[in-house]
Amino acid sequence: MAIPADASLDKTREILRARLKGIIPDFEIDYKAELAWKINRLKHERGAVILGHNYMEPALFYSIPDYVGDSLELARKAAETNCDPIVFCGVRFMAETAKILNPDKTVLLPSKEAGCSLAAAITADDVRRLKELFPGAPVVSYVNTYADVKAESDYCCTSSNAARLVKSIDADLIIFLPDEYLAKNVAAETGRKIWIFGPEDLESESIVYPDDVSMIGWAGRCEVHEQFTVEDVTSVRKQFPKVEVLAHPECRPEVVEAADFSQSTSRMIQHVKESTAPHFLLLTECSMGDNIIAENPDKDILRLCSVRCPHMNQITLEDTLEALEKNQVEIDVPEPIRTRAKQALERMLSVS
Ligand code: 13P
Ligand code: SF4
């Protein structure tokens, strides 16, 4: 995706204009092209690699990342790269994943505000308490968790391999953290009966739940995807009867049920490219729709743009330039936590 490092400023502007005309205003393209040109030169000088999540805003997405993708694809790229530093245009848990896999390299996250409501929903203490309550049950943690939570986990997963990973585990009871809705969607796909725990349950003396439960979930939610409703889907279907609805698996189970397709961000992008439907409704971060239109101008993408990820939106071209200039914000994962978290990540990478 990156514009070549040897492209002149004029060439950078021309490439970005060709890609983004009509998606963002010309003056903004010109301003951002200059930032992208500076970043690409500095990236080359420093021998850096830039990884960009699918939610990055279009001018950044189409100008500076050497690789773009979903969480799993970017974790793979982080595991394979020889470049140093690694600049992660995504959120903190993604940059931490890159650091866990590359302890000797510098990993930079352009904004220290780029968190995630799911990663913030659970602590390592919560996981330890759950392990005491359900001894022997393997712990699967969504990659949207911080390193200390991964360190308490047996496996990591992403939205693109969660069901496959759960199917590969031979255990009567699995603890699946921290996204309540992803867990419910995975339970439905893998035929497991789920019971959701929250922080208040860990305080209680005795916990009662049905005998036939085979998956324990946690009450964490993505603040973006939890906002989509079945009514959103029905009202769009009324206006556009032939619309194809794509919902990220972090959406509520009833929303996923009402949709036509539910997979990771990269699989959603791929699906839109391959489908001949006349319209698509994307129930995910709004920027991704712009990125798809920029590459597929013939596609009619409908989005609910009032719902944005405040964390992904922290990552800007300005901050990325500053990150490379000042070597900030450097991600650090303490060694004992890193080695344990790495095992869970490596299990994920080997299952996929
Ligand atoms: P993907 O792994 O599907 O890209 O999802 C990451 C994420 O944070 C979605 O909100
Ligand atoms: Fe986290 Fe949701 Fe933002 Fe993804 S969209 S980074 S899950 S808050």
Please answer whether residues 246 and 260 qualify as being in contact, where contact means their C-beta atoms are separated by less than 8 angstroms: yes
Helix (H) or strand (E) holding 321: helix 317-326
Q: Quick one: pLDDT at residue 271?
A: 98
Q: Answer whether 158 contacts ligand 1 (Cβ < 6 A).
A: yes
Q: Quick one: pLDDT at residue 173?
A: 97
How remote is the CA of residue 70 from the centroid of ligand 1, in Å?
6
Closest by CA to 245, choosing from 254, 236, 293, is 236
Q: Answer whether 222 contacts ligand 1 (Cβ < 6 A).
A: yes
Ligand 1 atom closest to Cα of 224? 10
Q: Quick one: pLDDT at residue 231?
A: 97
pLDDT in tens, 253-292: 999 999 999 999 999 999 999 999 999 999 999 999 999 9
3-state secondary structure of 141: strand
How remote is the CA of residue 300 from the centroid of ligand 1, in Å?
22
Q: Quick one: pLDDT at residue 204?
A: 79
Q: Answer whether 227 contacts ligand 2 (Cβ < 6 A).
A: no
Q: What is the SS3 string spanning 200-267?
A: HHHHCCCCCCCCCCCEEEECECCCCHHHCCHHHHHHHHHHCCCCEEEECCCCCHHHHHHCCECCCHHH
Q: Quick one: pLDDT at residue 352?
A: 61
Distance CA 86, CA 43 (A): 10
In this structure, the residue with its CA closest to atom 7 of ligand 2 is: 222
Ligand 2 atom closest to Cα of 285? 5
Q: Answer whether 264 contacts ligand 1 (Cβ < 6 A).
A: yes
How remote is the CA of residue 311 from the centroid of ligand 1, in Å?
12
Q: Answer whether 309 contacts ligand 2 (Cβ < 6 A).
A: yes
Q: Which residue's structure tokens are 């060439």?
A: 11
Distance CA 148, CA 129 (A): 14
Ligand nearest to the CA of 70: 1
- Name all domains of the chain by residue range, CATH numbers in brackets: 9-114+312-326 (3.40.50.10800), 119-221 (3.40.50.10800), 225-302 (3.40.50.10800)
Residues of the chain with confidence (pLDDT) below 70 = 352
pLDDT in tens, 153-206: 999 999 999 999 999 999 999 999 999 999 999 999 999 999 999 998 888 777
- Dig out the tokens for 161 from the structure: 């391999």
Cα-Cα-Cα-Cα dihedral sign, residues 256, 259, 261, 266: negative
Using alpha carbons, list the distances in angstroms from residue 101 to 104, 123, 219, 292: 9, 21, 28, 30
Q: Answer whether 180 contacts ligand 2 (Cβ < 6 A).
A: no
Q: Which residue's structure tokens are 């001018």?
A: 59
Tell me, rounded to whole angstroms, the distance of Cα 60 from its chain centroid. 16
Q: Answer whether 144 contacts ligand 2 (Cβ < 6 A).
A: yes
110 phi and psi, to 5 degrees?
A: -60, -20
Q: Answer whether 265 contacts ligand 1 (Cβ < 6 A).
A: yes
Q: Quick one: pLDDT at residue 29?
A: 97
Q: Quick one: pLDDT at residue 205?
A: 76
